[in-house]
Structure 1
């Protein structure tokens, strides 16, 4: 085979560049664009989350005044609704809805609280605990409006184990309001049994049980207090 001329070698290199080098470079550029694009998105997402947190904190700071000042109440409702409208599927939006619903509930404006919490059920976030809190608050708002059967259905939608005692207690409240004494006793007892296992006393629940003629003992709470035999011996003079 004869050696290639300089011109032939140049043409071969050009052919190689077209077939291999350019696609490789293009792939690298695409990868870099994707990386820096992701970095930009992450930074933007972090900044947005921080801004939303500040906005929600401002709502909290206004909430005490809103309880007594009608103008402050209207402002906090407007600011809260803006957070929800601008960033609907965020933790801060759901927190804002919970705060607004509480303020409305405290004013005995149950219809407004119900409307806010019903809308909160559509928020798409991965925080199951926060969603469960929203459902629990909605159930109690429905109880306040005497929507007892609807409240039971709302409570059935709470599947987070951590809320089992609260759900059972709320169901007991509903059954008590419906004069279903045995069902109320059973629901309260279920709540109490879980709390005893968790060593979490709940005095109000104990009172509810007592009002239905059910006496329960206080849960045994382990304390870090040392017994005399476990206490460290006093240091001797030679050790001081």
Structure 2
């Protein structure tokens, strides 16, 4: 006999259990396999996206070096449309903004910086884009828009630079007391070894120093 009596009883019990629960277990197994396959596929997709985005970012870098802003903007646009969820897209937009700014193409500069603010996933890049866009708006004398851009959530490590930019705009608006407060905040937030501290202090002194000194 292929099975003894005890084995036959165990087999019968197993068959009965499978009859009651086998369908459920099959679906559980299928769901587990599907989840694993989905996770594996997602990781492959992410890695593939990163590789392609890296290659496109390299192309953008070459275009920046060649000062070919047509290629720069094409690469940046492709990056934003195809790989907008990657860090490379934010970096590409900031690089394109710098290239177009150097070429005095402020329309595209503002567009690239605004893309980072609107679509960037990292607060650090978004904050940097805000500071740079506010600088462009300052040059264009769009002071209220510049201050508006500087609002909202920002990365703490940029608190000093953001307050400094705000001070610049307030000086341009002749709001000297508010500018003093902004520059003082910029100094307070700057690391002791930050080379920008000296420039901030010069600007603060130029409008009468701190609020306390001005009152004295």
Per the normalisation by structure 1, the TM-score is 0.74
- Give the aligned CA root-mean-square deviation in angstroms: 2.7
Distance 2:156 2:115 in 1: 24
Match of residue 18 from structure 1: 19
Q: May I ask how many residue pairs the two structures share in their alignment?
A: 203
Which residue of 2 is the match for residue 209 of structure 1?
Answer: 204
1:164 aligns with 2:172: no
- Tell me the distance in 2 between the aligned counterparts of 1:198 and 1:19: 72
Match of 2:7 in 1: none
Question: 1:183, 1:13 → 2: CA distance?
Answer: 81
Q: Do the aligned partners of 1:135 and 1:158 also contact (CA within 8 Å) in 2?
A: no
The reply to whether residue 51 of structure 1 matches residue 52 of structure 2 is yes
Mapped partners of 1:170, 1:124: distance in 2:
21
Q: Deviations over 1:190-240 (max 9, x none)?
A: 111222x5442313223322333439xxxxxxxxxxxxxxxxxxxxxxxxx
CA 172–15 in structure 1, closer or farther in 2 if over 3 Å, else same: same
TM-score (normalised: structure 2): 0.81
Name the structure 1 match of 2:149.
154
Partner of 2:132: 137
- Higher relative CO (CA 8 A, sep ≥ 6), structure 1 or 2? 2
CA-CA distance at 1:58 after TM superposition: 2.6
Higher helix share: 2
Bigger shift: 113-122 or 142-151? 113-122
**Cα distance change on mapping 1:124 and 1:110 into 2, 3 Å:** closer
Match of 2:97 in 1: 101
Task: Give the number of the structure whose alpha-carbon radius of gyration is greater.
Answer: 1
SS at match of 2:194: coil
Q: Is the 8 A contact 1:110 1:144 kept in 2?
A: no
Cα distance, 1:83 vs structure 2: 1.0
Unaligned runs of 5+ in 1: 1-8, 67-71, 216-240
Q: Deviations over 1:7-54 (max 9, x none)?
A: xx9998655432123422332232122112211211221121122123
Gaps of 5+ in 2: 1-9, 211-216
The question of whether the paired residues in 1 share the 8 Å contact of 2:126 and 2:154 is answered with no
2:110 matched residue in structure 1: 114
Give the Cα–Cα distance (whole angstroms) in 2 for the partners of residues 205 and 192 of structure 1. 7
